C-alpha cells in the first residue's frame, strides 16, 4: 500500500523507525489512506480537525463500523497529525460516536469442537488444537517460538501478545508428543538454514535483538511453525525464515467447519471463545480465565457467561477431555 504513495512510504518508514509492530503499521496506513481518499486525495497537511470529524462521522453513520474500528481510525489519524504533520488534533473532537453493538462471540459445543478438529487438515491440526486447548489468538499461535513451550509445567509462554503483554497459558498434555515432533521439523529446517551463507537468523523484537545478538541463530528462538521457504525481510533486506502465513490456518478452519456441517460462522477466534466458555462451564473462576486469555479488564471476560461457578485453582485444558 505504502509503495504507491511517497507520503505513505514516508509514514511507514517513520513508524518502522519508532519500532511500531508490522501489523500496526499496516493498519494505520490503511486508515490514513482511507482518510486521504475520503477527502478527494487532498494532502493531510491541508486538512484540519473538522475534516477528521467528518471522516469519523462518515465511518459511524454511513459505514456503520464498530466502536473499536472507529477508535482505531482515530488512533491512526492522531499519530498522523501528532508525529508526521506536527499539528496534534484537538483533545475534544466533535463527531458522531459509533454505536454498533458488540457481537456476542460464536461458541461451539464440545461435540462440535471435536467434529471440527477431526476435519481439520493435518497440516494445521496442531495449530487448531492450540487455539482451542490454550485459548490462543490466531497470531499468538503462528508466532510461537520453540522456547515458548514449557514441557515440565505443561504451559506456553506468550510473548508480546495483544497490547504487548506477556502471559503463561495452559498446555494440554495430549499435545506434548505432537509438539515434540513439530520441534523435530523445526530442527531440520534450522540445520538447513545454518548451512545457507546469507541466512541472517529469525526476526526478533528490537530490544531483544540488541540484548542477545546471537539469539536469531539459536534454535530456541526459531518459529515453532516455520514457513516452508526462506524470504527477504522487507525492513532489513536480509534472508530469514518467517512463520507460516496465518491465512492458511484461517482457510483450514473454515473448510473444516463446512466439512463437519457446523451451521455457525466459525473462525479461528471461535476456538478461543470456546476455550473460555468451556473453562467457565467447568467451574473455573473468571479471574483465572481472564489471565489465561490475557484480558486487561475482567469485563471483557464476562461476555462469555453471566452465571459463574467458582472452581479450583489448577487450570486443566478442555482439550484433554476430547483426546
- With a cut of 70, list the residues of the chain below it in pLDDT: 1-4, 99-102, 305-315
Question: How far is the C-alpha of 274 from the C-alpha of 9, rounded, in Å?
Answer: 40
Residue 162 among the catalytic residues? yes
pLDDT of residue 238: 94
Asked whether the beta carbons of 194 and 151 are under 8 A apart, the reply is no
Catalytic residue, chosen from 115, 137, 167, 316, is: 137
Selecting among 28, 124, 190, 304, the annotated active-site residue is 304
Check 51, 58, 242, 269 and give the catalytic one: 269
* Residue 147: predicted pLDDT: 96
Query: Which residue among the candidates 143, 241, 243, 272 is catalytic per the annotation?
Result: 272
- Is residue 229 annotated as a catalytic residue, yes or no? no
273 is catalytic: no
pLDDT, one tens digit per residue, over 82-118 is 999 999 998 788 877 776 666 778 899 999 999 999 9
What per-residue confidence (pLDDT) applies to 315? 64
For the question of residue 269 being annotated catalytic, the response is yes
pLDDT at 206 (0 to 100): 74
The active-site residue, picked from 43, 102, 162, 309, is 162
Strand order in the sheet with 167-170: 149-150, 155-158, 167-170
pLDDT value, residue 256: 97
Centre a 10 Å sphere on the Cβ of residue 37 and count the other Cβ atoms it contains. 10
- CA-based diameter of the chain, in Å? 61
Predicted pLDDT at 102:
65
Looking at residue 312, what is its pLDDT?
42
The residues, ordered by sequence, that sit 6+ positions from 78 with a Cβ below 8 Å of its Cβ are: 88, 89
Q: In the annotation, is 181 catalytic?
A: no
Indicate left, alpha or beta for 305 from its phi (over 0: left) and psi (-120 to 50: alpha): beta
CB 135 within 8 A of CB 293: yes
Does the active-site annotation cover 28?
A: no
Amino acid at each position: 500500500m505504502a509503495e504507491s504513495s511517497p507520503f505513505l512510504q514516508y509514514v511507514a518508514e517513520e513508524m518502522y523507525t519508532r519500532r511500531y509492530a508490522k501489523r500496526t503499521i499496516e493498519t494505520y496506513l490503511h486508515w490514513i489512506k482511507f482518510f486521504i481518499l475520503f477527502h478527494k486525495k487532498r494532502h493531510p497537511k491541508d486538512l484540519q480537525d473538522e475534516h477528521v470529524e467528518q471522516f469519523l462521522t462518515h465511518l459511524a453513520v454511513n459505514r456503520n463500523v464498530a466502536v473499536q474500528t472507529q477508535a482505531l481510525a482515530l488512533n491512526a489519524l492522531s499519530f498522523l497529525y501528532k508525529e508526521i504533520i506536527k499539528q496534534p488534533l484537538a483533545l475534544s473532537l466533535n463527531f458522531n460516536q459509533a454505536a454498533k453493538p458488540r457481537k456476542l462471540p460464536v461458541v461451539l459445543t464440545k461435540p462440535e469442537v471435536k467434529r471440527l478438529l477431526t476435519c481439520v487438515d493435518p497440516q494445521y491440526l496442531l495449530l487448531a488444537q492450540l487455539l482451542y486447548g490454550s485459548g490462543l489468538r490466531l497470531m499468538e499461535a503462528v508466532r510461537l517460538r520453540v522456547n515458548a513451550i514449557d514441557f515440565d509445567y505443561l504451559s506456553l509462554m506468550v510473548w508480546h501478545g495483544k497490547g504487548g503483554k506477556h502471559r503463561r497459558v495452559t498446555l494440554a498434555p495430549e499435545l506434548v508428543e505432537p509438539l515434540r515432533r513439530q520441534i523435530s521439523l523445526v530442527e531440520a529446517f534450522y540445520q538447513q538454514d545454518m548451512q545457507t551463507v546469507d541466512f541472517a537468523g529469525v526476526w526478533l523484537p528490537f530490544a531483544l535483538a540488541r540484548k542477545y545478538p546471537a539469539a536469531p541463530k539459536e534454535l530456541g528462538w526459531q518459529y515453532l511453525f516455520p514457513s516452508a521457504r526462506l524470504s527477504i525481510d522487507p525492513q532489513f533486506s536480509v534472508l530469514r525464515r518467517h512463520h507460516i502465513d496465518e491465512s492458511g490456518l484461517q482457510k483450514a478452519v473454515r473448510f473444516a467447519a463446512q466439512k463437519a456441517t457446523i451451521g455457525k460462522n466459525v473462525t479461528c477466534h471461535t476456538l478461543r471463545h470456546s476455550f473460555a466458555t468451556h473453562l467457565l462451564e467447568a467451574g473455573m473462576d473468571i479471574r483465572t480465565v481472564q489471565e489465561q486469555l490475557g484480558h486487561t479488564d475482567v469485563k471483557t471476560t464476562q461476555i462469555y457467561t453471566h452465571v459463574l461457578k467458582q472452581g479450583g485453582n489448577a487450570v486443566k485444558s478442555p482439550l484433554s477431555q476430547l483426546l
